Amino acid sequence: MGNKCDNLSLYIINELTNHDKKQFEDHLLKCAKCQQELKSIQETWQMLSYDVEETEVPESLKSQVMDFVFEENKFLKHEEKIEAEPISFKERILSVAKRHFSPISTAVTAILIICLIGFYWNSLQLKDTIKSLENKAADPTQIVTTYSLTGQSLAASATGSAYLLQEGTETSLVIALNNMPITKGNEVYQVWLLKNGNRQSAGTLIPDQNGSGLITYRLPPEYSFEDIGITLEPNPFNTQPQGQKVLGT
Amino acid sequence: MKSKSDEELIELIVQNHRPALEELYDRYVKLIYSFSIKITKGDKEKTKEIVQQVFLRLWTTKSTYNPSQGQFVNWLLTITRNISIDLIRKEQKYKGTVQLELEEWQQMQGLQADDVQQQVTRNLLKQQIQEAKRHLSEPQQRLINLLYWEGYSLSEIAELEQKPLGTIKSRLHQALKKLRNNFNGKIGGVRHGE
């Protein structure tokens, strides 16, 4: 108990921690002596404020204090009155800016604006980069391999070129032929892709009157072949060559 | 305005009545100014700053004064001391903040001095406290001065005095008790608050 009574002075000068303060207040409820002491010592503590020499107050202080108090409170009222006051638009903007932007907040705002411009510029750059990447990805049909085809037997004078084109993940075979003998009736030229002795049809074509023809064939994914052969087929829907070979790599 | 009580003036301030604040200024500025100039050791600029802050607080935080808890002038002086010490500590870059005046206010049970006699009472109180202080030992006087007027905390004072904190605490207790005893003795039967 004795120890707790010792905290009376600290309680009065407000130097107890929250915890100790709470404890002392609990103690105070039970301790008649502290209750009695509290009041008189508290009064004594407050009496210290009267230990001052009376000093003359400068005349000008009142207006300085009142100006300060009412300047500090001005905005609220100013905001209400703003419409009634005949101040120019520019002044109004300036005063609003002054009020809302301290030097620090101005600096912060400026930095934010600079960052914002930076980000915008950066995103423009990024957009360009992405666009160019997209273009690169989209256009570039790249020729992966070129084959030249030479004619034989009845199409000995025929020539041709084949291109393996890579377009994204897809691969196409384009074959251009010249000086092909004109087909008759149901006859078609059929393209075969050879791999390990197996032949797979890669489409048929009928050359124009000048003996020129073009065929595009989209290869199945992951498909590869070793040679290209072209035969003259008596009808267009053969799955295995029937007629004789007229061109090949 | 002149005939209104402090409480009535506070009521008017709550309603944003500027003349009421000016009246309170006229009534108490001398006390506040004298107090502030002592605590700032005669610095007129800082004193002005303190007086401005005190009246700004009066104007803006009206709700913290509750007449049932004591006399207005003591509340005003408590605010003034808190603002002053806050300023002093800020300038001296002391760590720690000053507690809100409300807290201190809630502990406070102000004096019931006679309104009419206020000025007389004040002068009387001053004489009494100065008389009572004379009974303190040199270290006790120094302690009260550092604590009340210079805004040092007890542990800072212990450091300055190169004494254990416990010694300073009991020195404070003794000092306050001695002040109280001499104070009461002098005032005798008209002890305030009874």
- Token digits of residue B67: 């007449």
According to the per-residue pLDDT averaged within each range, which of A33-42, A79-88, B58-67 is highest?
Answer: A33-42
Residue closest to A184 by CA, chosen among A131, A112, A234, A238: A234
Query: What pLDDT, in 10s, does the model give residues B72-128?
Result: 888 888 889 989 988 888 776 544 444 444 444 444 434 443 444 566 667 777 888
Both B20 and B100 in one domain: the answer is: yes
The residue among B159 and A165 whose pLDDT is bigger is: B159
The pLDDT of residue A57 is above 50? yes
DSSP B99: P
Percent of chain A with pLDDT over 70: 85
> Rounded distance, CA B160 to CA B76, Å?
30
Number of domains comprising chain B: 2
List beta partners, residue A151. A247
> Rounded distance, CA B169 to CA B22, Å?
41
Q: Which range is least confidently modeled, A127-141, A196-210, B157-171, B172-186?
A: A127-141
> Phi/psi zone of residue B162: left (φ > 0), alpha (ψ -120 to 50 degrees), beta?
left
- Give the closest-approach CA distance of B50 to chain A in angstroms: 10
Q: For residue B131, give its domain range.
A: 118-189
Both B101 and B23 in one domain: the answer is: yes
The pLDDT value recorded for residue A43 is: 83
| CATH number of this structure's domain A142-248 | 2.60.40
Summarize the confidence of residues B153-159 as an average pLDDT: 92
Answer whether B28 touches A (CB < 8 Å): no
Answer whether B122 touches A (CB < 8 Å): yes
Both B36 and B87 in one domain: the answer is: yes
Burial-class residue A135 by CB neighbours within 10 Å (0-12, 13-18, 19+): exposed
Query: What pLDDT, in 10s, does the model give residues B162-178?
Result: 999 999 999 999 999 99
Contacts of A178 by beta carbon, 8 Å cutoff, 6+ apart: A158, A159, A160, A211, A212
What CATH number is associated with residue B170?
1.10.10.10
Asked if residue B160 belongs to a domain, the reply is yes
The pLDDT value recorded for residue B96 is: 46
Both B17 and B73 in one domain: the answer is: yes
Q: What confidence category does residue A161 fall into, taking pLDDT thresholds of 50, 70 and 90?
A: confident
> Rounded distance, CA A130 to CA B167, Å?
75
Count of helices and strands (H, E) across chain A:
8, 8
Asked if residue B1 belongs to a domain, the reply is no
Q: What confidence category does residue B70 fall into, taking pLDDT thresholds of 50, 70 and 90?
A: low
| The total number of residues written for chain A in this structure | 249
Nearest CA in chain B to A77: B16
Both B102 and B181 in one domain: the answer is: no
The answer to whether B68 and B106 are in contact (CB under 8 A) is: no
Chain A hits for B55, Cβ within 8 Å: 65-66, 68-69
The ranges assigned to domains in chain A are 2-46, 79-139, 142-248
Both B58 and B127 in one domain: the answer is: no
Both B140 and B74 in one domain: the answer is: no
The pLDDT value recorded for residue A87 is: 56
The pLDDT value recorded for residue A154 is: 81
The pLDDT of residue A22 is above 80? yes
Query: What pLDDT, in 10s, does the model give residues A163-206?
Result: 888 877 778 888 888 888 888 888 888 989 888 888 888 888 88
What CATH number is associated with residue B99?
1.10.1740.10
The pLDDT of residue B185 is above 60? no
The interface predicted TM-score (ipTM) is 0.74
Both B38 and B125 in one domain: the answer is: no
Both B36 and B126 in one domain: the answer is: no
The DSSP secondary structure of A53-68, one letter per residue, reads: ---PPPTTHHHHHHHH
Chain A hits for B48, Cβ within 8 Å: 61, 64-65
> Rounded distance, CA A3 to CA B98, Å?
26
What phi and psi values does residue B155 have, to the nearest 5 degrees?
A: -70, -35
The pLDDT value recorded for residue A135 is: 64
Both B87 and B154 in one domain: the answer is: no
The answer to whether A46 and B110 are in contact (CB under 8 A) is: yes
Instruction: Count the neighbouring beta carbons within 10 Å of the beta carbon of residue A219.
Output: 17
Give Cα separations from B123 to A54, A55, A210, B101 (angstroms): 9, 13, 129, 25
Burial-class residue B64 by CB neighbours within 10 Å (0-12, 13-18, 19+): middle
Both B58 and B139 in one domain: the answer is: no
Q: Sign (positive/negative) of CA torsion B7, B11, B16, B20?
A: negative
Classified as helix, coil or strand, A208 is coil
Calculate the average pLDDT of chain B: 79
The pLDDT value recorded for residue A165 is: 82
Query: What pLDDT, in 10s, does the model give residues A78-121?
Result: 554 554 455 566 666 776 666 666 777 778 888 888 888 888 88
The pLDDT of residue B63 is above 80? no
Asked if residue B176 belongs to a domain, the reply is yes
Answer whether B77 touches A (CB < 8 Å): yes
Both B96 and B74 in one domain: the answer is: yes
Asked if residue B158 belongs to a domain, the reply is yes
Answer whether B127 touches A (CB < 8 Å): no
Chain A residues with CB within 8 Å of chain B CB: 6, 8-15, 39-55, 57-58, 61-62, 64-66, 68-70, 72-73
Asked if residue B66 belongs to a domain, the reply is yes
Contacts of B194 by beta carbon, 8 Å cutoff, 6+ apart: none
